[in-house]
Each structure stands twice: as C-alpha cells, then as structure tokens.
Amino acid sequence: MTETEIDSPALAPLAGEPEGGARGRPTAAGLTITGMSVELDGAVILDGVDAEVPPGAVTALVGPNGSGKSTLLRALVGALPAGGSVWLGGEDLRRMPRRSRARRLALVEQDAGGEVSRSVLDVVLLGRTPHRPRWGADSASDLAVAQAALARAGATELSGRDFATLSGGERQRVHLSRALAQQPEVLMLDEPTNHLDVAAQLDVLGLTRDLRGDGVTVLAALHDLNHAMRYADHVVVLADGRAVAAGPPAEVLTGELVSEVYRVRASRVSAGGRDLLVMDPA
Ligand SMILES: Nc1ncnc2c1ncn2[C@@H]1O[C@H](COP(=O)(O)OP(=O)(O)OP(=O)(O)O)[C@@H](O)[C@H]1O
C-alpha cells in the first residue's frame, strides 16, 4: 500500500505522541460524496457515485473487480480529476488546497511500489510532509509521531531496515505507518489486508476499529465480505462505477445482493455466533 493524504484541527495524538502534540479529544468528520464521476482515456469509470462515509466509523467499500473502488479512493485524495462534489464535514474538499487536503485525508494505495533504497523510518516520515514548513526538516515531534505510528502498525522492529528489502506484508505495515504519521481525519485504505497473513489481517482490521476512538474516519476497500461484515460499521457497495447499496453491513450484505452484484451463489449462515456469507460459483 502507499499513502497519500489530511489539517487536523482536533485530531487526537497517536499513542506515544509527545505532550506538545496533543490536541485534545477529536471530533470526527465524515464525507458526503455526490455525483462523483471519473472518465479515464474516454471510458466512464465512475458514473455519478453518491455515498456517505459516516464520521468516526469504519466504512467498507466493496464491489467486484473493476467496479471503481480504487478510482473512487484516488479521486477523493485529488489524484484523479473528478466531477461531482465531496464535502468533508462542512468543507468543500474540491476547493481545498492540495496541501490542506493532504493534512486531512490519507490514502494507503493497493500494492504501491517501493524499490527505492530508503530507511523505513524515512518512508514513515514522508507522512509528516504536509504538516511541516515547505523546506523544513523533521522536528523531534515529527520523529516521535513517526515512531508512534510504527508502533501502532506493529512495525517498530522494521524501523532500521531498508524499505526495498521488505516483504510485501512488511511493506504494507510501513505504508500504513506512513499514513498514520500523516495524522489524518479520514484514513482511506485500498485493500489493507493484501499481502498480510491471517493474524496480521485481523491486527490491521482491529486497528481500523481502534482508530475510531481517536476520531479518525476510516474508508477501506475490502474484497473479503466477511471482513466487511465483521469489522465495518457501514458498507458502500459499488458496481459498474455506481453505488448500488449502502448501510449497516448485516442489512446490506444479504445473500441476494451479493449473488446479484458478484454473480455468485451466496447465502448467509450462522456460525460461532456470527453471520457469515458463504459463496459458490453461480
Ligand atoms: N487509465 C485508464 N483507462 C481506462 N480504464 C481504466 C484506467 N484506469 C482504470 N481503468 C478501469 O477502471 C475500472 C475501475 O478500476 P478500479 O481499479 O477503480 O477498480 P477496483 O474496483 O478497485 O478493482 P479491483 O477490485 O480489481 O482492485 C477498471 O475496469 C479499470 O480497468
């Protein structure tokens, strides 16, 4: 994963952030997306997406391959030109200067590259870029935030390593650390469990839920619908570049909807005290 961008006037400090960095209990901000459209090389990729991303909650963005999940996330951070409007709390995101936007929204992209030889700590410190003066060096506070972010993502032991030598799962944690060091109000994750073993997947998904207590709004593109059922408070279903359903996962991710959207045979079963989706080829 890579990250991109959030000015967090009331963002809680990460665990371990120095006293001076504390900014009090945060008020979370949500996103209201209206009529978002993206055209790439003459092809309509997003076709008027309307979606709410509730504040201080985990929202799962689900949908088949090619439905537009990554495109939506990239458009939200301003990495792609898009039509429509996006409001972050009471502010028009599209009118926000890029640097301000980068202090408020962070994106960890799917399978981001990273062959460049650079220490892990330096990669994580990149997350501080929108917070420091344009030509300023990293301060002691930046360093403390980066180290706290590494700890939170379970990547402290990687801090002295060369990023280029890390495994896919290790890189994933470093990219997550970089996004956390950005101290965003909205953290967007594109397939955050890619490359991670089962325990690490549960760690990262658990972390997304913990972040709610810090006033962070999470929007995560997920392929595993059972992860969405278990970890998300809200789900937005994309199909063919449109949002076709949204709401609490247990209500939205019915066997019927999943069968139709993914073209599989899906049903819900109860196991171990929870509802699970079971899928077979159509
Ligand atoms: N530059 C481009 N020109 C034309 N089509 C593009 C371009 N970039 C992406 N697309 C298409 O846009 C569609 C949506 O892609 P996107 O990566 O947003 O889907 P996704 O839902 O994230 O898919 P996946 O689950 O496979 O990651 C795909 O059909 C893709 O091929």
Query: Does the beta carbon of 65 sit less than 6 angstroms from any atom of ligand 1?
Result: yes
State the pLDDT at residue 116.
Answer: 75
Q: Is residue 63 within 6 Å of ligand 1 at its C-beta?
A: yes
Ligand 1 center to 110 CA (angstroms) = 12
Given a cut of 80, is residue 24 above it in pLDDT?
Answer: no
pLDDT of residue 226: 96
DSSP state of 214: G
Report whether CATH 3.40.50.300 matches the domain 19-114+182-281.
yes
Q: Tell me which of 105 and 4 has the higher pLDDT.
A: 105
Name which residue sits closest to atom 5 of ligand 1, judged by CA: 40
Domain residue ranges of the chain, discontinuous segments joined by +:
19-114+182-281
What confidence category does residue 9 fall into, taking pLDDT thresholds of 50, 70 and 90? Answer: very low
The pLDDT of 254-266, averaged and rounded, is 97
Q: Are strands 83-88 and 91-92 parallel, antiparallel or unpaired?
A: antiparallel
> Is pLDDT at 176 greater than 50 in this prediction?
yes
pLDDT score for 137: 80
| Rg of the Cα atoms in the chain | 18
Q: What is the pLDDT of residue 113?
A: 61
Q: Is the pLDDT of residue 155 over 60?
A: yes
Bridge partners (DSSP) of residue 47 are 37
Q: What is the pLDDT of residues 98-128, one digit of tens each?
A: 889 999 999 999 876 666 788 999 999 999 9
71 alpha carbon to ligand 1 midpoint, in Å? Answer: 7
Identify the pLDDT of residue 112.
63
Residue of 38, 44, 65 with the most ligand 1 atoms within 8 Å of its CB, for mutation = 65
Cα-flanking dihedrals φ and ψ of residue 247, to 5°? 145, -165
Confidence of residue 94 (pLDDT cuts 50, 70, 90): confident
The tokens describing 45, both together, are 């990729």
> According to the model, what pLDDT value does residue 26 have?
64
Task: List the single range of 58-62, 126-130, 219-223 with lowest mean pLDDT.
Answer: 126-130
CA neighbor of 68 nearest in space, from 233, 225, 221: 221
Mean pLDDT of the chain: 88
Closest CA to 246 of 31, 51, 48, 33: 51
- For residue 15, pLDDT over 50 is answered with no
Task: Of 18-27, 30-39, 126-135, give the range with the top mean pLDDT.
Answer: 30-39
Q: What is the pLDDT of residue 114?
A: 62
- The total of other beta-carbon atoms located within 10 Å of residue 26's CB is 20
